[in-house]
Chain A
Amino acid sequence: GESVGLHLPTLSVQEGDNSIINCAYSNSASDYFIWYKQESGKGPQFIIDIRSNMDKRQGQRVTVLLNKTVKHLSLQIAATQPGDSAVYFCAESGPPPTGGGNKLTFGTGTQLKVEL
């Protein structure tokens, strides 16, 4: 799976199936996690985020799971559609800095291809 490090370059799924994109992180102090979708030629688009005090968070057709014990994050997309084809990035940041802001560290991305 993807990490803030290694990644699975391409994931191919059939339209209508569920997709699972994985991400491993190494910083035990990571406090905030986020998934972005990036279509070709565009900027990253926010999908869903989760803080370290939660294990699971759901959005519209997407679920993020956080396992702090093994430092693993996953993004599940239900009933994958052709419009879901894109590169997906996970990112993480440490506790809120005193000066403000949110310094994200990004993984290298996973290409999701939806086959008709």
Chain B
Amino acid sequence: NAGVTQTPKFQVLKTGQSMTLQCAQDMNHNSMYWYRQDPGMGLRLIYYSASEGTTDKGEVPNGYNVSRLNKREFSLRLESAAPSQTSVYFCASSATYNEQFFGPGTRLTVL
């Protein structure tokens, strides 16, 4: 099992460009999450999907949109990237109220 996979691993954008971060899990988990991690800080929840067909805002949702494509896949979209969105983005999944398993991250720089 690959666990949680994320693409791309690295990305550089110019201000105003858009992009979609992809995430997939093969553990048959119901819940999936998107976090961002800034230097010297913990992870902050952007959006989550408790189950297929549902999505909810987390702590820092502004500037982002998500799509739960199916049970396996959960994407994060930046419609108009800003330098403040320079960060490392992590996707995670969990079997409902249990530990979350994280992907390797996407390192995004917005110029």
Chain A interfacial positions (CB closer than 8 Å to B): 32, 34, 36, 42-46, 49, 89, 91, 93, 96-97, 99-109
Is A102 a contact partner of B54 (Cβ separation < 8 A)? no
A36 surroundings in chain B (CB, below 8 A): 102
> What class of interface size applies to chain B in its complex with A?
20 to 34
Q: Is the CB of A103 within 8 A of B45?
A: yes
User: CA separation between A46 and B95, bound complex, in Å?
Assistant: 14
Bound-complex Cα distance A36 to B102 (A): 10
Q: In the complex, what residue of chain A is closest to B3 when comparing beta carbons? A: A43
A107 CA to B102 CA in the complex, in Å?
16
Cα-based distance from A103 to B90 in the complex (angstroms)? 14
CA distance A101 to B96 in the complex (A): 5
Chain B residues packing against A (C-beta within 8 Å) = 4, 30-31, 33, 40-45, 48-51, 54, 56, 58-59, 90, 94, 96-105
Shortest C-beta distance, A52 to chain B (Å), equals 12
A101 to B50, CA, bound (A): 4
Set of chain B residues within 8 Å of A34, measured between Cβ atoms: 99-100
Could you tell me the distance in whole angstroms from the C-beta of B74 to the nearest C-beta in chain A? 12
Would you list 22 pairs from A and B whose C-beta atoms are within 8 A, ordered by A residue? A34-B100, A42-B105, A44-B102, A46-B99, A46-B101, A89-B42, A91-B42, A99-B51, A99-B56, A100-B50, A101-B30, A101-B50, A101-B51, A101-B56, A101-B94, A104-B43, A104-B100, A105-B59, A106-B42, A106-B43, A108-B42, A109-B40
